[in-house]
Amino acid sequence: MIEINIKEIDELIKILNEFENHYIFRGQSSAKWGLVPSIERILGTKWSASTASKFEEYSLTKFKSKYHLYDEKNRRPETLLQWLSLMQHYGVPTRLLDFSYSPYIALYFCLETLSPSSKDDIAIYAIDYRDIIKKSLAFIKTRDKDFKYEYTDTFDKHDEIFVSTINRFSYDILWVTEPLEVNLRLDRQAGCFLLSGNLDKKIEELLAVSIYKDTDIKKIIIPINMYEQLFALLSKVNINAKVLYGDLTGLSMSIRMELVAYGR
């Protein structure tokens, strides 16, 4: 992983604009944090494949059993990934790690939950997802001679491949995906997910394995004292909570972020 320390706002804009369209981005409110899905944070030192699997099965069973009581308008999810995506949307801890195809949306998420008293620098992770998928497909082929998918075959089959092959055999690979049917919020946020194909392996463990050693992964560290400039930049390109959420939650977050920006 290459770390880039930003000094000026123009430098950040230049770097973000230079990324090609086969990258995904994640913004975090502290540069000290790693790439850790919510289920990993919940389990902490108790993490193991069996424990993670039990937590996931329990959450899925409970969420599915009560889904109809709380949502009668939308179509019921059909695949594991659709269920996990919906659970993630509503705050249930899952193995999914949120990313966006937009570096500026990732920058927004650096700022969304930031405390006015925070002294931590923020960070954007950028990952070449095309390379991740190609290397993951190549790995599967070394284990399964009947697996024939090429990168260009997978554009509308990420969900299917995850369920039928990756999750089924718990391969030690990473996968970048989105459900075949996405919810409105995920669509507004140009969202996708990075996840481990094996619950026994954490995302950061797999990023360090040999098959991904040449994958372009960057961590862009941005000084916290640039907050107001960053907020102004996002305002100019109309990226804010009102747009990304489209509801009263978004409006409330937008007001909060204005107060933080101009009260720092």
Q: What is the CB neighbour count within 10 angstroms for residue 33?
A: 13
Query: Does 263 have pLDDT greater than 70?
Result: no
Residues in CB range of 96: below 8 A, 6 or more apart = 37, 84, 85, 88, 193, 194, 195
What is the arithmetic mean of pLDDT over 248-263?
A: 81
Query: Does 258 have pLDDT greater than 60?
Result: yes
| Tokens 């992983």, residue located | 1
Range of the domain at 10: 2-263
- Mean pLDDT score across all residues of the chain: 88
pLDDT value at residue 149: 87
Condensed to tens digits (0 to 9), the pLDDT of residues 134-165 reads 999 999 999 998 898 888 888 778 888 888 89
Query: Does 53 have pLDDT greater than 90?
Result: no
pLDDT value at residue 216: 96
Condensed to tens digits (0 to 9), the pLDDT of residues 187-198 reads 777 789 999 998
Confidence of residue 229 (pLDDT cuts 50, 70, 90): very high
What is the arithmetic mean of pLDDT over 104-125?
A: 90
For the chain, the domain total comes to 1
Q: What is the CB neighbour count within 10 angstroms for residue 249?
A: 13
The b/e string for 93-123 (b: 16+ C-beta within 10 A; e otherwise) is bbbbbbbbbbbbbbbbbbbbebeeeeeebbb
- The backbone torsions φ and ψ at residue 99, rounded to the nearest 5 degrees and listed phi first, read -135, 170
Query: Does 182 have pLDDT greater than 60?
Result: no
Confidence of residue 85 (pLDDT cuts 50, 70, 90): confident
Eight-class DSSP state of 77? P
Amino acid at 4: I
Q: 220 in helix, strand or coil?
A: strand
pLDDT value at residue 167: 85
- Which pair of structure tokens corresponds to residue 92? 């249930």
For residues 159 and 180, the answer to whether their CB atoms sit within 8 Å is yes
